Structure 1
């Protein structure tokens, strides 16, 4: 099912045709299978859409990660006792909205390293926001990472996004989420 080029018009047969004189080093590998499924970008997109991040990670043989620059947010997490880093969702394949156990890797700078985190991907429905984003609470970390490059590796899907009636309900759920995430990580 391999296709390439404009409108996916290219195929293995086309590559073979253009390689009649043997000028290309052409090796055709068999489709990769994992647990009787052909690994494909379509399968990965389908699994991400429903929040099957553990399956995605198995298929990739690594954690699915999102790389971006930390942006300044509304500071709501800080006000709630859970300061977060914010990443803009732009030109990426967005997984199912919800809460994930995650590792955060700061890729450069003073705080370069790997940390445990609780990631929320979605619209922040409690606040009526319509712009999707990624917010990550980094455990045992309180320094500023504005403008730093980070990689957020999604480990496990915890729950779908919820609209809370008030901030107290949100805080209680965040405490439960963090407790559960620390058990996972």
Structure 2
């Protein structure tokens, strides 16, 4: 990896039974020619800022809490990929971003803002679904699908950032595409209400 400088948290451990720590890295750095810097814990009245705390905020739909820890709004990024175009058939064409991860910190439907598609860098409002598409495919790979309001442009291959504003509902199973469409109509209305505030 040609590491020259390594930053780790003050509670960092690694290796078998978490036997390695900051001091182990410092000793290894002396031998292998890299420096190690300890990033001391940052905390507020709720406790230390950590990836565990951020994931907890996200799983609870507490995007304000996640933003406090991150110092910015939570976003997922990726390239727009071709999908099955089934959303288009019910009036909700989506941009599709495959999430290359074992588990998503978010599942369900959200009001979102999409960045990366306007010349001036402004956001586009949308409604997003993250899940395994139980009505369509029933598989275990995660997909982020975003319907962007008042948007109609081919953007395959473009890189976008999706900022999560508010949780709307959990992922659900539907008996038919008509039942799914009715629920998406309701989700879209809720997302517009949230984003217009």
Q: Do the two structures share a fold, i.e. TM-score over 0.5?
A: yes
> Does 2:185 match 1:175?
yes
Query: In the TM superposition, what is the alpha-carbon distance from 1:100 to its structure 2 partner?
Result: 0.9
Gaps of 5+ in 2: 1-9
1:143 aligns with 2:121: no
After TM superposition, the structure 1 = structure 2 runs for residues 125-140 of structure 1, keeping only pairs within 5 Å, are 125-130=134-139, 131-140=141-150
Q: 1:76 pairs with 73, 78, 86, which one?
A: 86
Match for residue 70 of structure 2?
Answer: 60
Structure 1 residue corresponding to 2:125, chosen from 109, 116, 130 = 116
- After TM superposition, give the deviation of residue 160 of structure 1 in Å: 0.2
CA distance in 1, matches of 2:174, 2:163: 26
Once the two structures are superposed, residues 52-107 of structure 1 have per-residue CA deviations (whole angstroms, 9 ceiling, x without a partner) of: 33422232121111111100001011111011000011047612310011111126
Instruction: Give yes or no for contact 1:121–1:134 (8 Å, CA) kept in 2.
Output: yes
Which residue of 2 is the match for residue 2 of structure 1?
Answer: 11
Determine if contact 1:88/1:133 at 8 Å carries over to the other structure. yes
1:112, 1:132 → 2: CA distance?
A: 27
CA contact (8 A) 1:64 1:154 kept: yes
SS in structure 2 of the partner of residue 182 of structure 1:
helix
How has the CA–CA distance of structure 1 residues 9 and 46 changed in structure 2, closer, same or farther, with 3 Å as cutoff?
farther
Counterparts in 2 of 1:129 and 1:183: CA distance versus 1, 3 Å: same
Question: Following superposition, which runs of at least 4 residues in structure 1 exceed 4 angstroms of deviation?
Answer: 4-10, 12-20, 24-30, 110-113
Equivalent pairs counted in the alignment come to 182
Instruction: Kindly report which structure 2 residues correspond to 1:92-103, keeping only aligned pairs within 5 A, or say none.
Output: 94-103=104-113
Name which of structure 1's ranges 135-144 and 7-16 shifts more when overlaid on structure 2.
Answer: 7-16
In structure 2, the partner of 1:48 is: 58
Q: Show CA shifts across 1:16-71 (max 9, x none).
A: 77899xxx998755422234221111222233344433422232121111111100
RMSD: 3.0
